[in-house]
Amino acid sequence: MKKLFIYLLLPLLILGSCTKLDQEFYSQVTPGTFFKSEKDILAALNRPFTHARWYVGEDRWYLQEHTADNFAITTKGPHWENGGENKRYHYHSWTPDDGWIWGSWRGTLMGIALALDARSDLEKLDYSKFALTTDDQQAHINQLNTLIAYFYMRGLDFFGGLPIFNSLEGENLPRNTDQEVFAHIEQLLKTAIEKLPPKSQLDEPAAGELKQAAAAAMLAELYFNAEVYIGRPMYQECQQLSQDIIDGKYGPYQLDATWYGPHSFKNDRSPEIIWSIPSEFNKLQYDWFYSSFYHYNSREYFGQDMGANNGTHMTPSRRPDSTLYRNEWKLGSPFEKFDNGDLRKKPYRYLGSSNYEGMFLVGEQRKPDGGVINGTQEYDRRPLFLRDQVGRFSEVGPGKKYSSVAQLPSNMSEGEENTGVRLVKVPIPTLADNSLRWGADNPVIRLTEIYYMLAECKWRRGDIAGAAGLINTVRKRNFVNGADPNPVLAANFDKYRFIDEWSIEFLGEGRRRTDLLRWNMFTTEKWWDHNPSGSDHLKRFPVPTQAISGNNNLQQNPGY
């Protein structure tokens, strides 16, 4: 095997493969002998997309959300202390030895390597021998170029400069600069936009492939965050691309009529999906979050048979005494940022026939038939009530540690089993409709993001009314008859209202840290149990110790 690929692959095999790599790897078989049909070509093309399915969740999601203001994994009695790692991310005191950082560095370079390997094979083929055209070949190659650009852009966001490699030859490459990686991503995407086909029809279902609009959306995102990445604002360039996407230059897309359309069991047919990762029950299913997000007995709430670990929850909107954290900080409090009339704020309920309502597990937890759900730890044999608060409420009362809730501390060490509202953005059916389970694809890029990017570009360039109009166009679908009680107005549209709108619409979609960085809030603002560090070096994660130990040409980021 090629040396670089061994360097990237061995840690994956040692730590457990994200793609399970149970298929035979054909790196030493020439394309001319392996590829016998179009099916073989598609298998090679799809292999790095299987890696992308894993990559868009897990460690990358944790780095984006658990270092920001909307989610936390509190210590819950004897559970989730994890050597303090969860707290280090929340308090911005992570180290080069922490696991999510290593997993993300490793996963980024592995994704690039897999896509490069597939591209190398497909470039060598004579597509006419498979009754395919050169346009087909260019579409396949540029899907891979777009995917390579995606991995590099995520790596740039997390770490800054990465080693740039265009083949799997060589080893121990040094890091390129932020500017060089930015330029590499930009060129890959510009080329892909020219070569990829556009979406042809509005009702064309998403099937996981990258089309022209996906490459254009990624390039818009690169420009959108350019000031963070390379110190150069490029909002005008982002604005033009975003407007072109909305205007249909790269194919027909439109906002879904409902809030749940882009997330539902049938979201592959949502007109606003630009790129999604397909999911199907027992077939590369999109389910990584379930075990972390939900309580041990949430299976009873969902009418399901799946256990969970009761880890991740939303940060609290309320103090232990039930008053809101309104005057202490402006970020966080994600549940209470939703208006009470917002259809999404209802408790999640599966209604049958693939229909559901609401987006949260909150308050009294009951089975689909109305039966009471009890806790298993502090609330063993007592009804389970999920609180939008953090505190050891089970330790309040006569003869207990605290005489009243007013004495309860609220911090990362003081959770218990009922701590925190839980997000249900991916619908979960009851066992009666279990064929629908994990049928919702993972919407990586949707048109709503383009509307919000365009709005922010307009806002930053002084068109506050134009920005508000775009946000309100999206907001109205979240209310009965489109009657929004709290639309964005020029008078109330400051930076905090804007960052709240990003939070409300994209809650839990693995982007929060990036949004806070762009608004210069990640290291400067306070949120629940988090004081700002003011340290610019924390805007990038460190190069993992394991990466440097395997490649002494890698230089550590400043400040670590």
Q: Which of 367, 373, 351, 349 is CA-nearest to residue 359?
A: 349
Average pLDDT of span 541-547: 98
Write down the pLDDT at residue 76: 97
Per-residue pLDDT for 19 more than 60? no
The Cα–Cα gap between 261 and 269 comes to 8
For 255-303, how does the pLDDT look when each residue is reduced to its tens digit (9 = 90+)?
999 999 999 999 999 999 999 999 999 888 999 999 999 999 999 999 9
Q: Which of 361, 331, 334, 332 is CA-nearest to residue 349?
A: 361
**What backbone phi and psi angles, to 5 degrees, belong to 84?**
85, 5
For 38-77, how does the pLDDT look when each residue is reduced to its tens digit (9 = 90+)?
999 999 999 999 999 999 999 999 999 999 999 999 999 9
pLDDT class for 123, splitting at 50, 70, 90? very high
Write down the pLDDT at residue 231: 98
**What are the chain's domains?**
1-136+145-171+520-551 (1.25.40), 287-430 (no CATH)
Q: Which of 384, 401, 402, 418 is CA-nearest to residue 316?
A: 418
pLDDT class for 443, splitting at 50, 70, 90? very high
Write down the pLDDT at residue 284: 87
For 138-173, how does the pLDDT look when each residue is reduced to its tens digit (9 = 90+)?
999 999 999 999 999 999 999 999 999 998 987 789
Comparing 166-170, 464-468, 516-520, the range with the smallest average pLDDT is: 166-170
H/E element, 466:
helix 464-475
Write down the pLDDT at residue 125: 97
- Rounded to the nearest integer, the mean pLDDT of the chain is 94
Write down the pLDDT at residue 86: 97
Write down the pLDDT at residue 34: 77
Q: Which of 110, 506, 446 is CA-nearest to residue 277?
A: 446
H/E element, 351:
strand 349-352
Report H helices in 96-204. Answer: 99-123, 134-159, 178-195
Residue 489 structure tokens: 């107005």
Contact 319, 410 (CB under 8 A): yes
Q: Look up tokens 């016998």; give the residue.
A: 36
For 292-349, how does the pLDDT look when each residue is reduced to its tens digit (9 = 90+)?
999 999 999 999 999 999 999 999 999 999 999 988 999 999 999 999 999 999 999 9
More confident residue, 20 or 174: 174
For 471-506, how does the pLDDT look when each residue is reduced to its tens digit (9 = 90+)?
999 999 999 999 999 999 999 999 999 999 999 999
For 197-242, how does the pLDDT look when each residue is reduced to its tens digit (9 = 90+)?
999 999 999 999 999 999 999 999 999 999 999 999 999 999 999 9
Write down the pLDDT at residue 16: 37
Per-state percent for the chain, helix, strand, coil, to nearest 5: 45, 10, 45
The Cα–Cα gap between 234 and 517 comes to 15
Per-residue pLDDT for 10 more than 50? no
What predicted TM-score, i.e. pTM, was given to this entire model? 0.94
Q: In angstroms, what CA-CA distances link 87 with 113, 252, 311, 393, 452?
A: 33, 44, 13, 21, 31
Per-residue pLDDT for 425 more than 60? yes
Per-residue pLDDT for 7 more than 90? no
Q: Which of 168, 165, 162, 166 is CA-nearest to residue 182?
A: 162
The Cα–Cα gap between 248 and 202 comes to 10
The Cα–Cα gap between 476 and 481 comes to 8
Per-residue pLDDT for 525 more than 70? yes
366-367-368 Cα angle (round to 5): 120
Q: Which of 317, 340, 341, 320 is CA-nearest to residue 330?
A: 317
Write down the pLDDT at residue 334: 98
Looking only at Cα atoms, what is the longest distance across the chain? Answer: 82
Distance of CA 41 to the CA centre of its chain: 29
Write down the pLDDT at residue 310: 98
pLDDT class for 23, splitting at 50, 70, 90? very low
For 373-412, how does the pLDDT look when each residue is reduced to its tens digit (9 = 90+)?
999 999 999 999 999 999 999 999 999 999 999 999 999 9
Buried b (16+ CB within 10 A) or exposed e, 503-514: bbbbbbbbbbbb
The Cα–Cα gap between 351 and 374 comes to 22
Per-residue pLDDT for 22 more than 90? no
Three-class secondary structure of residue 368 per DSSP: coil
